[in-house]
Amino acid sequence: MEKRSELYRGKAKTVYETDDSSRLVLEFRNDTSAFDGEKVEQLTDKGMVNNRFNHFIMTKLEEAGIPTQLDKLLSDKESLVKKLDMIPVECVVRNVAAGSLVKRLGVKEGTDLNPPTFEFFLKNDALHDPMVNEYHIQAFGWASKDQIEQMKVLTFKVNSVLKALFEEAGLILVDYKLEFGEFDGQIMLGDEFTPDGCRLWDAETREKLDKDRFRQGLGGVVEAYREVANRLGVEFPD
């Protein structure tokens, strides 16, 4: 598989075309950003940690019957993935109140949510990723009714699999966002699942072990990511 020209450069990842029109190379960089790119830093080894973390999680999801974009690891920072026709909507599940939910609704951080909440957000940095509903998604043609239902089903299946996985590691899966796309007529999970896109707390101390450490200036961002990965059994190069 030959990596070719850069197709897209995001805040923390770069996507490259390959000599196979159905495959892309996903590169995880050391860049870390928050607040729609207003705060940006380079954190040593973050790209490597996130690449291997993502590979571990996606493999677990595939084993549970959830189709994902990932094909295989290529290097410490690169993975080979399927080229999806991405749906410009983020699916967010919250098991515990935190982040924007606390600000919007005035609820106490740490409140358990039973049942978990589900929200859609339009993936648009210029508009600060506004919340949307199923009517918006269908009216503007971002996804069909059937695609919406498939995304919801898969998102909650991810929740069941990963809540249990993190619980075994002494962690609380507070919330997370997922992106989906279509490949050969099938809806599948795309983008990534790393501590950049979810909230993870220690089950006993409720210490934050995710990107909130960067957002809130707590420090030890990559160290926290590594701790989560080590608890899960993610393998890193010597």
Domain assignment present for 230: no
Task: Write out the residue range of the structural domain in which residue 39 sits.
Answer: 3-82
Domain assignment present for 95: yes
Statement: residue 38 has pLDDT above 80: no
Token pair in block for residue 110: 């740490």
Cross-strand bridge partners of residue 189: 68, 180
Domain assignment present for 154: yes
User: Domain check: are 117 and 190 in the same one?
Assistant: yes
Helix (H, G, I), strand (E, B) or coil at 145: helix
CA distance 88 to 77: 25
Domain assignment present for 227: no
pLDDT tier at 1 (50, 70, 90 boundaries)? Answer: confident
User: Domain check: are 204 and 89 in the same one?
Assistant: yes
Give the number of other Cβ atoms within 10 Å of residue 86's Cβ. Answer: 14
Mean pLDDT, all residues of the chain = 96
Domain assignment present for 160: yes
Report, as an integer, the average pLDDT of 45-64. Answer: 98
pTM of the model: 0.95
Token pair in block for residue 85: 């026709």
Cis peptide before 115 (omega within 30 of 0): yes
Handedness of CA 128, 133, 136, 137 (dihedral sign): positive
Statement: residue 34 has pLDDT above 90: no
pLDDT digits (tens, 9 = 90+) for 146-159: 999 999 999 999 99
Q: How many CA atoms lie within 13 A of 111 on its CB side?
A: 13
For residue 176, give the CATH number of its domain.
3.30.470.20
Phi and psi at 68, nearest 5°, equal -130, 165
CA distance 154 to 181: 12
Q: Percentage of residues in the chain with pLDDT exceeding 90?
A: 95
User: Domain check: are 116 and 215 in the same one?
Assistant: yes
Q: Counting every residue, how long is the chain?
A: 238
Report, as an integer, the average pLDDT of 31-47. Answer: 87
Closest to 68 measured CA to CA, from 78, 76, 22, 60:
60
Domain assignment present for 225: no
Statement: residue 220 has pLDDT above 80: yes
